[in-house]
Amino acid sequence: MTATDRSLELITTAAQAAADKLAHDVIAYDVSDVLSITDAFLLASAPNDRQVKSIVDEIEERLQKELGVKPVRREGDREARWILLDYIDIVVHVQHSEERVFYALERLWKDCPEIELPADATATRGKAEEHAKLQAEEDGAGFGDQR
């Protein structure tokens, strides 16, 4: 069993929306062979809570506007550290970068086939690491200036 064409359409649209809002490390897995409750997972992250919410809002708006679907469930809004959008056919996880590293969902689903995403979404790979390095350099420079 593989993800349906509809699921792939949802994943592609959601991935593009996430990339457009500068999400980091967007990746999708076809989990249809191991889970009966959904076809695919989309994972994305951001370095702060505000951006997590912005990405989720864009995904939700784009899927509603372009494909006429609303999530049946939206969880995690209060803290905005990990927001989950459940569309039945797909589940979208947008996590704060720290949660992404801690929970390492990729490790859980690494044996599932990766779904091909739009070039903009694929280009987000490694952005979290780049951001962390830049942040460390800025923090280091700032520390030196305080002496």
Instruction: Report the alpha-carbon distance of residue 72 to residue 99 in Å, rounded.
Output: 23
Report the pLDDT value the prediction gives residue 146, as an integer from 0 to 100: 47
**pLDDT tens digit string along 89-135?**
999 999 999 999 999 999 999 999 999 999 999 999 887 777 777 77
CA 112-82-99 angle, 5° bins: 75
Instruction: Report the alpha-carbon distance of residue 109 to residue 31 in Å, rounded.
Output: 8
Instruction: Count Cα neighbours of 101 within 13 Å in the Cβ-side half-sphere.
Output: 8
Sign of the four-CA dihedral 20, 81, 60, 89 = positive
For residues 38-43, average pLDDT: 97
Helix segments in 21-126, DSSP class H: 49-67, 97-103, 105-109, 119-122
Mean pLDDT of the chain: 91
Q: Please check whether residue 43 is in contact with residue 134, taking contact to mean a CB–CB distance below 8 angstroms.
A: no
Instruction: Report the alpha-carbon distance of residue 118 to residue 70 in Å, rounded.
Output: 22
